Amino acid sequence: MTLAIRRLLESRGRLDRAAVDAFLAGHSSPIVEGPTITFLFRGEADGVLLRHFVYGLPSSQPLRRLQGTDLWHLSLEVPTGSRFEYKLEVLRGGTRTLVQDPLNPRTASDPFGSNSVCAGSGYEVPEWTRPDPDARPGALEEIEVPAGPLGEGTRPVSVYLPARFRPARRHPLLVAFDGTDYLRYAGMKVVLDNLVGRNEVASLLVAFCPSQHRMKEYAADPAHARWVVEDLLPALRDRWPVSEGPADLALMGASLGAVASLHAAWLHPGRFGRLLLQSGAFAFTDIGREVRSPVLEPVVEFVNGFRAAPGRPSEKVFVSCGVYESLIYENRSLVPLLQRTGMEVRFVEARDGHNWENWRDRLREGLSWLFPGPLGLVYE
């Protein structure tokens, strides 16, 4: 039993509603006491379970009801610096309902909705992810790019122009797959404004590319790689002064977006000198053809082929992954292979899961290493 719960039990001779009210007035959920995290729920229910997104632990763990009250609690031991997302599953009359923690004001969003956030001891939201009134804001401009091999019509792309953008000077270019999500859920424009404004990252252009059919196009689709090279890059160079050399050209993405990045560079070696790969879904098989999902079959075929003959698709590769996600094995397996190609590789693990705020929190380290500004030596 945690210190906070023991204090509640010792606070009065009898637990009543007023005692629980007073306790919750001084505690939100979860309660962090060093490595111990205590989750709370208040209400009448047949049962309450913690549904977290930490690979390797039971994904559904029951809270215990404090006898004589409507207060439920569960304590876990969590390593320092951890962050993960969760929901509570409330059972009433045979009905199960997933809800955000009503006692926790911290939430995080993704394309599928919102989750509650557990921030363990030692974790802080990086200050450079928050709007800085002293940072000169860059601009986002929209462009329509011909769909080319992806089909008819055009594809919308949002392009970030840094505050120090100069039309007479060529700028490095970073292409971000799932670009709309990077802007919405990882706050990447604010991050760029801060890091470029502080001279930690070079004054670069960033093309934020959404996908209408990401489960196909990002799953090692040669047509998507061709679109990047034959349609996207020419359209961007026609509109803005983009540097020509591979050292100034990068691809980035998370999950399947990381697969699309590595795949495009592999099919077009020497074109993209920088890669930023976050929690890549680099599924492969050593024996047999078992695949987690039919969607991943082309990914397995690509990654198996890449493992057999990687070549040297890029020059510098930044890889990050959360230790609380199932893809940590695939990413750890990929890194030695990348290093053996002669590419310069940096690999970062975080005590977090497969989510946008994990990917946001790694942007400073990745961007400042791939595209260092005048202060780049700080991170070497």
Give the pLDDT of residue 18.
83
Mean predicted lDDT score pLDDT of the chain: 93
pLDDT in tens, 225-280: 999 999 999 999 999 999 999 999 999 999 999 999 999 999 999 999 999 999 99
Task: List, as own/partner pairs, every contact residues 297-306 make where C-beta atoms lie below 8 angstroms and the sequence separation is at least 24, other chains included.
Answer: 298/219, 298/220, 298/221, 299/219, 299/220, 299/256, 299/259, 301/220, 302/220, 302/259, 302/263, 302/266, 303/220, 303/259, 306/262, 306/266, 306/337
Other CB atoms within a 10 A radius of the CB of residue 292 amount to: 12
Distance CA(285)–CA(197), nearest Å, equals 44
Q: What band does 328 get if pLDDT is binned at 50, 70 and 90?
A: very high
Residue that wins the pLDDT comparison between 378 and 37: 37
Same fold for the domain at 3-119 and the one at 127-379? no
Q: Is 377 exposed, middle or buried (0-12, 13-18, 19+ CB in 10 A)?
A: exposed
| 276 closest CA partner among 324, 214, 348 | 348
Encoded amino acid at 116, one letter: S
Distance CA(45)–CA(96), nearest Å, equals 10
Q: What is the pTM of this model?
A: 0.93
Q: What is the CATH number of domain 127-379?
A: 3.40.50.1820
Would you say residue 379 has pLDDT above 50? no
- Residue located via tokens 């939430």: 107
Q: Is 376 exposed, middle or buried (0-12, 13-18, 19+ CB in 10 A)?
A: middle
Average pLDDT, integer, range 288-314? 86
Would you say residue 290 has pLDDT above 60? no
**Gyration radius from the chain CA atoms:** 23
What are φ and ψ of residue 170, in 5° steps? -75, 145
Distance CA(140)–CA(179), nearest Å, equals 12
Instruction: Assign domain 3-119 one CATH number from 3.20.20.70, 3.40.50.300, 2.60.40.10, 3.40.190.10.
Output: 2.60.40.10
Percent of the chain with pLDDT over 70: 94
- Residue located via tokens 């079959």: 297
Q: Where are the domains of the chain?
A: 3-119, 127-379
Give the pLDDT of residue 380.
41
